[in-house]
Amino acid sequence: MTVDPPEWLDVLPYADDLDEFARRYRGSRRAARRQHAVVLVAALVVAAAVLLVVWALPKHRGMHVAGGTNAAQGNTAQGNTAQSAAPLTPVTYQADAPANTLFGTAHTRPYPGASDGVIVQTIGNWGNGVGEGALRFNNVVVPGAGTYALTFFYVNPNNEPTRSVIITASGSGSVSLTVAGSAACCSAQQVRVDLNRGPNSITFSNPAGHAPAIDRIVVGPL
């Protein structure tokens, strides 16, 4: 560092006392050294501060990223929980429930072995002029649109070995199948049905012949 010469050097040619000159010269050297020391200390302080910042920065960055990652994961999980439908546990719907609709010859009847003691029978075409019997389950609710397992429990009260049934779900077309059965309640058969999110209707019918009497249905995941 360059130190400007003191003003008293301008009068050096006129100084009579060399001792005074030497004293002043030594004083100027001491002042210069003090200035150098101050500058050095200041530089060391700045360097130490920079080192502290550099040392702390990676840790701070790591904490920020970790926090951001956790927050993002939390948002994703919560988003995924809020938007995704809750998994469906199997739900049972009784055939004789008041919310259901019976058409034509279909009617309820007490029957031994039925889950709540009652079945809906004479579903289908019985040729008596009353009209085709049908059973419609109303308000079958699922959390999301998709394919579900529908298990229906049935019986053939007159002990017919087989009967046919058409199952129509509001979210898809119809499924037609023939099932083996007897007068002992109850046999079970599972089919796949496509359902809409929310309430659906499921209808059992058979315009060409006798359909099995229905005890209940269970709707659940595949």
Task: Output the domain CATH number for residue 169.
Answer: 2.60.120.260
* Contact yes or no for 102/135 (Cβ under 8 A): yes
pLDDT for the residue numbered 49:
72
Does one domain contain both 72 and 103? Answer: no
Would you say residue 17 lies in a domain?
A: yes
Would you say residue 29 lies in a domain?
A: yes
Closest alpha carbon to 205 in 155, 177, 167, 156? 167
The reply to whether omega before 186 is within 30° of 0 (cis) is yes
Would you say residue 1 lies in a domain?
A: no
Does one domain contain both 97 and 60? Answer: no
pLDDT for the residue numbered 98:
96
Question: Tens-digit pLDDT profile for the chain (222 aa)?
Answer: 555 555 545 544 544 555 665 566 666 667 667 776 766 767 776 777 767 655 665 444 433 333 343 333 333 333 332 333 556 799 999 999 999 999 999 999 999 999 999 999 999 999 887 789 999 999 999 999 999 999 999 999 999 999 999 999 997 789 999 999 999 999 999 999 999 999 999 999 999 999 999 999 999 999
Helix (H, G, I), strand (E, B) or coil at 63: helix
* Among candidate residues 36, 65, 83, the one where a domain is terminated: 83
Q: Report which residue type is found at 148.
A: Y
With vertex at residue 153, the alpha carbon angle to CA 149 and CA 155, rounded to the nearest 5 degrees, is 150
Would you say residue 2 lies in a domain?
A: no
Answer whether 0.85 is exceeded by the pTM.
no
* Among candidate residues 34, 58, 83, the one where a domain is terminated: 83
pLDDT for the residue numbered 64:
37
Number of domains in the chain: 2
How far apart, in whole angstroms, are the C-alpha atoms of residue 218 and residue 106?
20
Does one domain contain both 129 and 169? Answer: yes
Does one domain contain both 183 and 133? Answer: yes
Does one domain contain both 136 and 108? Answer: yes
* Among candidate residues 31, 56, 83, the one where a domain is terminated: 83
* Structural domain range at position 191: 91-220
What radius of gyration do the chain's Cα atoms show? 47
Would you say residue 56 lies in a domain?
A: yes
